[in-house]
Amino acid sequence: MPSAGLADAVRGALGRVIDPEIRKPITELDMVGRVEVTDAGEAEIGLKLTIVGCPAAATIEGDVRAAAAAVPGVAGVRVDVSVMTKEERAALTARLRGPGQRTMPFGPGSLTRVYAVTSGKGGVGKSTLTANLAVALAAEGLSVGLIDADVYGFSIPGILGLVDENGVAARPTRVDDMILPPVAFGVKVISIGMFIDPEQASSTGGAVAWRGPMLHRTINQFLTDVYFGDLDVLLLDLPPGTGDVAISIGQLLPNAEVIVLTTPQAAAADVAERSGLVAMQTGQHVYGVIENMAGFVTPDGSVLDIFGAGGGADVAERLTARQGTEVPLLASVPISVALRSGGDAGAPVVLADPSDPASAAIRAVAGRLAHRGRDLAGRKLGLSPR
Ligand SMILES: Nc1ncnc2c1ncn2[C@@H]1O[C@H](COP(=O)(O)OP(=O)(O)OP(=O)(O)O)[C@@H](O)[C@H]1O
Ligand SMILES: [Mg+2]
């Protein structure tokens, strides 16, 4: 007679096997079917994968074997791998999404804090800082998502090491119409670069031509169809300028708070201020300003103000006056070779070199954001006016 007690113990052990993409125990995902243990101590486990050719299949099966084999009394493990039926999969995606299925989970009323990082001027370090901030927040123990909303010049996959040796971005797994974001350094990441056919990317240099409505649909799809789960923080890396994407984000996520990035230069500060004003016009709150590419700290400790000084404080002051509530300067991140090379190598400096002055500045912002907690204020906004 098979041992029911032992089978329960095996099932219990399988509850500690996490689906690496969905990031939940496989038992909660109904991926475990029959579990029996024969008199000879052989565990027989029915494992149901979400889709055919599931990229995580080998990992999950290996973890299942290891978990079952570690149960005292189990002498061997047999895993029967099958694939969920269409109905089982539909039940799973509906359950993960929660009630009201295909609605966008991050709008007003959501407990997730949403920050959109914008700048006006290009090349000021939005993507580099947003990626590092996301990694630093995840290192603080928060559940973090990152949307690379820079459809023209996506760079997040590279900065976070989500590319292969040819620079082709990792591809998200799809479970029906649910998209599972790749995870890097604890951050769930989605980028348009993950949906571009590598052939096309090499012939166009990765360039994507988008018109406004298509952009809006894509951003909306990222917010709706990508399964991020329950996030503490969602960061959005915006393209430079005050164009269609910023306006779409303003419409889709009026609750998003905006972080304005500038360099210390007066000319950059003017443009940065404008991007903050556009956010205010769409009803968003500007949370703060980050100055990037501030004075380079030389090995002897002296500071070289390569791009001048004062732009960050200036933008913060001007936006405070316009908003009527304080827009603080959150950090001044110095020019840093380690920050730049970490971005090139896909190894974020906040983990690779935490004592680097740029790391320290970014981690201080992460600490400040982490201390805000969940967006409880958003709760009151659950009612929509008629
Ligand atoms: N503090 C810094 N010190 C040194 N290099 C930096 C710093 N911040 C960013 N960089 C480098 O500057 C370049 C531009 O940065 P990044 O791509 O993050 O800017 P961006 O604002 O996202 O640009 P775009 O407008 O094109 O999206 C990158 O090569 C990055 O490594
Ligand atoms: Mg960028």
Residue 379: inside a domain: no
Distance of CA 176 to the CA centre of its chain: 21
Asked whether residue 199 carries a pLDDT value surpassing 70, the answer given is no
Listing DSSP states for 141-199 in one string gives: T--EEEEE--SSS--HHHHTT-B-TT-PBPPPEEETTEEEPPEETTEEEEEGGGSS-HH
Q: How many domains does the chain have?
A: 2
Residues 140, 264 within the same domain: yes
CATH at 352: 3.40.50.300
Compute the C-alpha angle 252/275/293, nearest 5°.
120
Last residue of a domain, one of 66, 97, 128: 97
Residue 232: inside a domain: yes
pLDDT at res. 105: 86
- Reported as a single tens digit per residue, the pLDDT across 77-106 is 999 999 999 899 888 888 888 765 567 889
Asked whether residue 43 carries a pLDDT value surpassing 50, the answer given is yes
| Closest to 168 measured CA to CA, from 197, 148, 125, 188 | 197
- Residue 119 C-alpha to ligand 2 middle, in angstroms? 10
**Backbone phi and psi for residue 294, each to the nearest 5 degrees, phi listed first:** -75, 175
Q: Per the structure block, which two tokens stand in for 105?
A: 């989970």
Quote the domain boundaries for residue 24: 3-97
Q: Per the structure block, which two tokens stand in for 89?
A: 């999969």
- Reported as a single tens digit per residue, the pLDDT across 250-267 is 889 999 999 999 999 988
Residue of 128, 271, 341, 363 to test ligand 1 pocket, by largest number of atoms within 8 Å of CB: 128
Residue having the nearest C-alpha atom to atom 6 of ligand 1: 340
Give the ligand whose atoms come closest to the C-alpha of residue 125.
1
In sequence order, the β-bridge partners of residue 334 are 294
Residues 59, 192 within the same domain: no
- Ligand 2 is an ion; its neighbours by CB within 5 Å are 126-127, 150
Compute the average pLDDT of residues 274-294.
92
pLDDT at res. 56: 84
Instruction: Find tokens 């968003």 and name the residue.
Output: 284
Compute the average pLDDT of residues 191-213.
69
pLDDT at res. 150: 86
Residue having the nearest C-alpha atom to atom 23 of ligand 1: 123
**Regarding beta strands 285-294 and 257-262, do their DSSP bridges make them parallel or antiparallel, or are they unpaired?**
parallel
Compute the mean pLDDT over every residue in the chain, rounded to the nearest whole number. 89
CATH at 33: 3.30.300.130
Helix 212-225 and helix 244-252, axial crossing angle in degrees, nearest 10: 40
Residues 60, 176 within the same domain: no
Residues 237, 288 within the same domain: yes
C-alpha 209/C-alpha 215 separation (Å) is 10
Residue 380: inside a domain: no
